[in-house]
Structure 1
Amino acid sequence: MASNRPAQSTSFAPNDTHAFGFAPGADEAPWEEWNPTEDSLRPVRGRHRVSKQRGGGLARSSTVLGVGVIAAVGAGGMASAQTGKAPVSISMPDLSSLTHSAKELIGEDTGAKHSEGTTATEAASDGSGAGEALRSRIMQQAESQRDSLASASVQATEDAAVKKAAAAAAKAQDDAVAKIAAAKKAEEAKKKAEEARLAELAKQYTLPTSSYTLTSRFGDAGSMWSSGYHTGLDFAAPTGTLIKAIHSGTITEAGWAGAYGYRTILTLDDGTQLWFCHQSSINVSVGQKVSTGDVIGRVGATGNVTGPHVHLEVHPNGGAAIDPMAWLQGKGLNP
């Protein structure tokens, strides 16, 4: 920093020059360099103390104050040197307010304001307690928010799981209903197909007689039969009622058969033998081809009987007798 040029000599210039270019008069005490200290800058009223500032705020505030004080002192000295009068006493302002104003000018945070008589230690303690309380409150709020978010996340996960389970259950139920419906539909289709097949078969098969009454069924027990049980199905009808071929085939036997009376055996193409027994007369001969519905004889009461009827037996492949009722039903016929 460049130094000032030496002051020109004047009639009132002191021999011993000091700062600011003037010296004390003859009747004045020697000037001393004034350096502001903590005691000299103590506020006039109360015991205000300035909290320690962050950064360089206090340094800048002190610099502003120092420059202002020095300027004021210099102005007073110069006026005294020019007029030759006694130096004018300088009234120091309340530095607490000046400091506050300076802080506002430089944009520094003034810190917490304390009531008159409060020490810096107490203020710091109060500030620390308030800061700790604020920090605690912030942490509590953050913890509460975190718990709320965690709870919301858990609830959302549970809701999603419940929704997914409900959707899966609904889908499973729909699938089960669909399977039941499909099975029912398939069963109905199968039933219809069987009915159609039987209807077609019914066109190829017929009952042995008409205007009849079923009297004895297959398996009925009794002493009247040599085997101890009934081996056929009896269609009771008046003597002379027509007996028809149940299905197309070949006559393999026709004549007297002891306890069966007059009997005709019709062998079908698949080897099944149909026995028509107790006839009053026979209308076909061995080796004759007949078709469904052709008359092969008449109802009678020949052989071991108690009344006129047609005793029908069914022997698959010429073997043992089976229930004629089930066989006829399998062909679409319902006696």
Structure 2
Amino acid sequence: MASNPPAPAAPFVPSQRDNETFGYGGYRTDEGPWEEWNPTEDSVRPNRGRHRVSKQRGGGLARSSTVLGVGVIAAVGAGGMASANTGKPPVSISVPDLPNVGSVFGETPSPAKGSPTALSSVGVTSSETAQGTKDAGEVLRDRIMAQAESQRVQVDSKVQYATEASLSKQVDDAAAKAEKAAAAKAAAAKKKAEAEAKKKAEAAKLAELATQYRLPVASYTITGTFGQAGSLWSSGYHTGLDFAAPTGTLIKAIHSGTVTEAGWAGSYGYRTILTLDDGTELWFCHQSSIGVSVGQKVATGDVIGRVGATGNVTGAHLHLEVHPGGQADGIDPMAWLRSKGLTP
């Protein structure tokens, strides 16, 4: 490998200096003498790989200024985003127009171009701008007042709803109570009407029966009733109803029927038994005379005999007994006559 021979030494002349020497200001004459350095193969290592020293380019100050400007704009934008993220109203930031380079050196500045609007106010409405100029306390007060108004409206709505619900419930309760009272009144009126109708129907029935039934004697006095206790009766109690009347008073048929017995009956004296169509037997006792015979059909009001004092008696009277279905034991003749519309 060939080597570079050393360069011949050149005479040093201070006035002949390279203009591209790195430094600030002019050269000093008190420095030196300087010896020129000539690199050789031994002193200079070949450049290999990517480790190379790039030459410094001009305009470094301009690039630094550009970076500074971008940083300012980024800071302003970040501040805007921070204020937007925190929910606080935007703060208007105005950046005055800087004088141009000519004004620094005393030149007359050219008229400013563009709008004096603050950078932070771009895209913001007038109401938002006005909101941003308010004091933080006023903004907080406005928010509290708005929230209080909203809560007041909600409370008023709830109170109104509760009042309407209460009134509706009262109306429903009153309507239900009135309906219940009306139903009870209607039921009572219906029951009363039914009772009155039943009473009228019973009265009509009795009136109709009264035309079909009649008392056995016209003029009488009740001297003995059913069930009276005493030694005068062989059974120990009275088994019929006594109509006291003068001897010979006419005895008439209470209802239409058939004569099934007519003659002497011991303690009953002369007795006539009239059997009605429903099987009920009517016993007419103590007669002085009998005016019908067995098997004879009689109608209501027909004469069947006369009042007397035959048999076991203390005076003239008609002893009447009622035996439903022909049974041996009789029932109260007073109640039976009343059931037929008759009042002894």
TM-score range relative to shorter protein? 0.5 to 0.7
Distance in 1, Cα, partners of 2:280 & 2:108:
155
Q: How does 1:108-127 map to 2 (within 5 A)?
A: 108-109=129-130, 111-112=132-133, 127=135
1:109–1:307 distance in 2 versus 1, CA, 3 Å:
same
1:54–1:260 distance in 2 versus 1, CA, 3 Å:
closer
Q: Which residue of 2 aligns with 1:152?
A: 160
Residue 324 of structure 2, aligned match among 310, 316, 328: 316
Q: How many residues are matched?
A: 251
Q: Which residue of 2 aligns with 1:273?
A: 281
Q: Which residue of 2 aligns with 1:261?
A: 269
Q: Deviations over 1:262-302 (max 9, x none)?
A: 11111111111100111111111111111000011111111
SS of the residue corresponding to residue 209 of structure 1 reads coil
Please tell me whether residue 196 in structure 1 is matched to residue 227 in structure 2: no
Please tell me whether residue 330 in structure 1 is matched to residue 339 in structure 2: yes
Distance in 2, Cα, partners of 1:265 & 1:56:
130
Quick one: which amino acid aligns to residue 172 of structure 1? K
Quick one: which amino acid aligns to residue 109 of structure 1? A
Q: Which residue of 2 aligns with 1:205?
A: 213
Once the two structures are TM-superposed, the CA of residue 109 in structure 1 deviates from its matched residue by: 3.0
Quick one: which amino acid aligns to residue 246 of structure 1? I
Quick one: which amino acid aligns to residue 332 of structure 1? G
Once the two structures are TM-superposed, the CA of residue 198 in structure 1 deviates from its matched residue by: 1.6
Distance in 2, Cα, partners of 1:170 & 1:304:
70
Q: Which residue of 1 aligns with 2:291?
A: 283
Distance in 2, Cα, partners of 1:110 & 1:277:
125
TM-score for the superposition, normalised by structure 2: 0.64
Please tell me whether residue 250 in structure 1 is matched to residue 237 in structure 2: no
Q: Which has the larger radius of gyration?
A: 2
Once the two structures are TM-superposed, the CA of residue 303 in structure 1 deviates from its matched residue by: 1.2
Q: How does 1:33-72 map to 2 (within 5 A)?
A: 58=93, 62=95, 66=97
Q: How does 1:296-311 map to 2 (within 5 A)?
A: 296-311=304-319
Residue 182 of structure 2, aligned match among 148, 151, 174: 174
Quick one: which amino acid aligns to residue 189 of structure 2? A
Give the conservation status (yes or no) of the 8 Å contact 2:89–2:132. Answer: no
Give the conservation status (yes or no) of the 8 Å contact 2:90–2:132. Answer: no
TM-score for the superposition, normalised by structure 1: 0.66
SS of the residue corresponding to residue 288 of structure 2 reads strand
Q: Deviations over 1:223-273 (max 9, x none)?
A: 111111110011111111110000111111111111111111111111111
1:279–1:110 distance in 2 versus 1, CA, 3 Å:
closer
1:178–1:110 distance in 2 versus 1, CA, 3 Å:
closer
Quick one: which amino acid aligns to residue 66 of structure 1? D
Distance in 2, Cα, partners of 1:218 & 1:54:
114
Once the two structures are TM-superposed, the CA of residue 99 in structure 1 deviates from its matched residue by: 8.8
SS of the residue corresponding to residue 243 of structure 2 reads strand
1:196–1:110 distance in 2 versus 1, CA, 3 Å:
closer
Distance in 1, Cα, partners of 2:233 & 2:144:
109
Distance in 1, Cα, partners of 2:90 & 2:160:
44
SS of the residue corresponding to residue 66 of structure 1 reads coil
Distance in 2, Cα, partners of 1:148 & 1:54:
32
Distance in 1, Cα, partners of 2:241 & 2:325:
19
- Identical-pair percentage: 57
Distance in 1, Cα, partners of 2:97 & 2:139:
33
The two structures, once aligned, show a CA RMSD in angstroms of 3.6
SS of the residue corresponding to residue 109 of structure 1 reads helix
Once the two structures are TM-superposed, the CA of residue 136 in structure 1 deviates from its matched residue by: 2.3
1:110–1:241 distance in 2 versus 1, CA, 3 Å:
closer
Q: Deviations over 1:292-321 (max 9, x none)?
A: 000111111111112111100001111020
